[in-house]
Amino acid sequence: MNKKKILLTLTIIFISANLRGPLTMVGPLIPSMKESFTSGNSIFGILTSIPLFVFGLISIIAPKLDNKFGKRITITTSLILLLIGLIIRSLGSVSNLFIGSILVALGIGISNVLLPSVIVEGAPQKDVGRLTGTFTTTMGLFGSIASGLSIFLASIVGWQFALEFFVITVIIALALWLTYSKTVEEIEKEEQLEPEIKLSYLLKSKLVSAIALFMGLQSWIAYALFAWVPSILIDRGMSSNFSALALMIIQLCSMPTMYIIPIIAGKKKTQSMFVAVTTIISFIGCLSLFATNPIILTLGLVLIGIGQGASLSFSYLFFTVRTNSAKETSSLSGLSQTIGYFIASTGPILFGYIHDITNFWSSSLIFMLFIHVILLFAGILSGRNKKI
């Protein structure tokens, strides 16, 4: 592996390390934050919802920033926003928490949209799958580490300093990006001369619609599961300790498919069969949540992790294999993530609402299985050997 490939890989790793962790740290630290403030639960509920809405708004703008200023300036700015946001949200007031969280979400949202196009622009076709797998796996891994470490760190240094944990990784990512982006300035200049991909053109494409729907529905399922799986398991008679471990089981089991799927499927012209198999695996995993047997429930959590890890990787892989240029990739990524995050934001709310009006988790799960069926068809259409 030559120096440029190594530098690109390290850059992808350290940028993607910051795309989930700074968000997953917040939830476990909310009880500690409540002790510092007099604010009610609704304030902290809004705090955890902010990123999804910011992602939805900024995702459609990020490609336009890329077109106007180029990736070097745009991603550098996003990492600086992320760094400033991490510092501000730890300063110890509710207003700083909100301002910092918005800046963190802006920084993450921009990088999240543009990173797939960095991969397309900087890597040969044979390495796109590997780097996409590296991107999604690192994002998931650091998200898991952050949620697990947050309370431990807070017990040692307090929640304010715990929230600054990712300052170091952002600084490293910024240094690597500034170094790597110097090597692609000429490519950037050529890319900026290409005509802008119009939103109206993308919206007319059935393939784009399928990819955006797939992105949104897999996120809907993931956010709904992460919000309500512990409550479902407790309702099934499981202990609170087991319910707390459930999300860790899902996340750990998602890691292998996050990495392997893009490498294997990325080499094929069509990914429809792979999507079908992994979506069915997730479907079967969700079926197990109707059971009360601990063994069946545990096996189901494993299958959910495998299926959800694959679905996340496919979402980002489609951005790279269904496009012809880095500019197309960033445009497709931006539109799909905008639609995706707005769809995803309804997941926890709608899943919980169905339970409230029926008083049965089974009703919510039946609706989730229906979402899987739509996801299956969207994935099959997205996986066909076509370009936007």
Distance CA 41, CA 43 (A): 5
Is the pLDDT at 373 greater than 80, yes or no? yes
pLDDT at position 152 is 84
Pair of tokens at residue 363: 């009703």
Average pLDDT, whole number, for the chain? 88
Highest mean pLDDT among 131-135, 252-256, 345-349, 368-372 belongs to: 368-372
Instruction: Please give the residue range of the domain that contains residue 338.
Output: 197-388
Asked whether the beta carbons of 343 and 220 are under 8 A apart, the reply is yes
Is the pLDDT at 280 greater than 80, yes or no? yes
Higher-scoring residue by pLDDT: 304, 39: 304
Distance CA 152, CA 147 (A): 10
Q: How confident is the model at residue 190 (pLDDT cuts 50, 70, 90)?
A: low
Average pLDDT estimate for 45-71: 86
Complete DSSP assignment for 357-380: HHS-HHHHHHHHHHHHHHHHHHHH
Distance CA 43, CA 114 (A): 31
Looking at residue 333, which CATH number applies to its domain?
A: 1.20.1250.20
Through-space distance between the first and last CA atoms of the chain, rounded to whole angstroms: 31
| Contacts with 321 (C-beta within 8 Å, 6 or more apart), sequence order | 128, 266, 271
Is the pLDDT at 326 greater than 90, yes or no? no
Tell me: do 105 and 219 sit in the same domain.
Answer: no
Average pLDDT estimate for 79-103: 92
Tell me: do 74 and 204 sit in the same domain.
Answer: no
pLDDT at position 266 is 86
pLDDT at position 247 is 79
Asked whether the beta carbons of 313 and 219 are under 8 A apart, the reply is no
Tell me: do 178 and 281 sit in the same domain.
Answer: no
Tell me: do 123 and 104 sit in the same domain.
Answer: yes
Is the pLDDT at 99 greater than 70, yes or no? yes
369: Cα within 13 Å, side-chain hemisphere: 14
Q: How many domains would you assign to the chain?
A: 2
Average pLDDT estimate for 352-365: 92
Is the pLDDT at 2 greater than 70, yes or no? yes
Tell me: do 189 and 337 sit in the same domain.
Answer: no
Which of residues 169, 193, 217 is at a domain's end? Answer: 193
Distance CA 305, CA 255 (A): 8
Which of residues 138, 173, 193 is at a domain's end? Answer: 193
Tell me: do 321 and 356 sit in the same domain.
Answer: yes
Distance CA 131, CA 136 (A): 9
Distance CA 44, CA 172 (A): 30
Is the pLDDT at 192 greater than 60, yes or no? no
Average pLDDT estimate for 123-132: 88
pLDDT at position 176 is 96
| Contacts with 110 (C-beta within 8 Å, 6 or more apart), sequence order | 58, 62, 65, 74, 75, 77, 78, 81
pLDDT at position 166 is 94
Which of 306, 286, 297 lies closest to 224 in space, CA to CA? Answer: 286
pLDDT at position 194 is 60
Which of residues 193, 213, 245 is at a domain's end? Answer: 193
pTM of the model: 0.85
Instruction: Identify the H or E element spanning 338.
Output: helix 326-344
Tell me: do 167 and 131 sit in the same domain.
Answer: yes
Percentage of the residues of the chain whose pLDDT score is greater than 90? 51
Tell me: do 178 and 265 sit in the same domain.
Answer: no
